[in-house]
Amino acid sequence: MNSLLNALNADQEQMQAWRHHLHRHPEVAFDEHNTARYIAELLRSWGYVVTEGVGKTGVVASLTVGDSPKAIGLRADTDALAVQEMSDSDHKSTIPGKSHTCGHDGHSAMLLGAARYLAEKKSFNGTVHLIFQPAEEVMGGAPAMIADGLFERFPMEAVFGMHNMPTLERGKLYFTTGPIMAAVDNWEIVLTGVGSHGSMPERSVDPVVAGAALVMALQTIVSRNVAPLDSAVVSVGAFLAGDAGNVIPQTATLRLSIRSSKPETRKLVLDKVRAITAAQAAAFGVSFEIREGAPGAVLVNNPAQTEACAAIARAVLGEEQVVMPGPTFMGSEDFAYYAQHKPGTYCFIGNGNTPMVHHPMYDFDDRNLPVGAAYWVAVAEHFLA
């Protein structure tokens, strides 16, 4: 086994303790105040220059060794989900309705393990910026940190990210060049009609009926406009209208999750959502408002950098523990916004045959902690040689 991986394996118990603390005390998007404080205190104790409050609740920890002007960024996400955990583990969430059921506690613990090793060994030449990012789940943390001057205040030549993935073999790293995760656009459509008593529908302009028709019409966008070898998803995850069976409401609200794997496909799908909404509203006599969320972005891995990262992982973990090309997903990641500014590489670490992320029984596999930490150290040592 590689000596670096041996060294990080020896630290697994400590990394596990950090993760379990974070797991017991989950905080959701832009509310990660205690999480940020906990992480910042550890990093300061190891000699990092720590900046808190970047992008509201983000933490950036910087360490310079030697005289090289080179700098890179290693990113972990810190936010939890508004999900009631159903696990009976001894480290289960202590906060009702909130849990680390996506594994961001594990991502943070892996990066903390690498941080301590790098601070002790000082085995690189240049500056490493550790980015502990809030609000990934709402696709808001990366844009907030960028808007707060992340790349101006902490200059870096490249940025790297990693996420665990159930169903992929535990402990293996998966790399893919080019597009790897989809853009997501979270939109809301509000239909406004005329409310009435349920016994007198003729005196209403019913937004529920209009909304029901719109839900079905939206399903034709992908099936009849997107090529079978392309990928897109239009999901209506919420339909909110009325409170009583005998009242026709004034408004109906549809909440959409729209995903696409190519910029041109994204434009086509979004244009179709706008056009179909306008046509259906006119047909049913309701007015409409489309509330567009933050523009989505496809996560695109830099090819040469990703090839280099796969080679680094093979050297540390062994050939059989690295898969390239790996899978791509229609899920979304706001790491995509970093990769629009700097060469980026984002990989997956297999979590094994566990419940999927966001499932109330999901839990990060602690055996992955030294694997991910060793990869982070190796990336820093290679790109800051």
Q: Which residues contribute to the annotated binding site? A: 102, 104, 137, 163, 358
* Three-point CA angle 342, 103, 7, nearest 5°: 80
Half-sphere exposure of 362 (CA within 13 A, CB side): 26
In what helix (H) or strand (E) does residue 254 lie, and over which residues does it extend?
Answer: strand 251-260
Residue 71 structure tokens: 């700098």
> Binding site for Mn(2+): what residues are annotated?
102, 104, 137, 163, 358
Write the Ramachandran bin of 281: left for phi over 0, alpha for psi from -120 to 50, otherwise beta: alpha
Classify each residue of 52-66 as buried b or exposed e, where b means 16 or more C-beta atoms within 10 Å of its C-beta. bebbbbbbbbbbbbe
Beta strands, E only, 89-223: 126-133, 158-166, 173-174, 178-181, 183-192, 196-197
Distance separating the N- and C-terminal Cα atoms of the chain: 22
What are the CA-CA distances from residue 379 to residues 35, 156, 361, 385 (Å)? Answer: 25, 14, 32, 10
Radius of gyration in angstroms for the set of CA atoms belonging to the chain, rounded to a whole number: 23
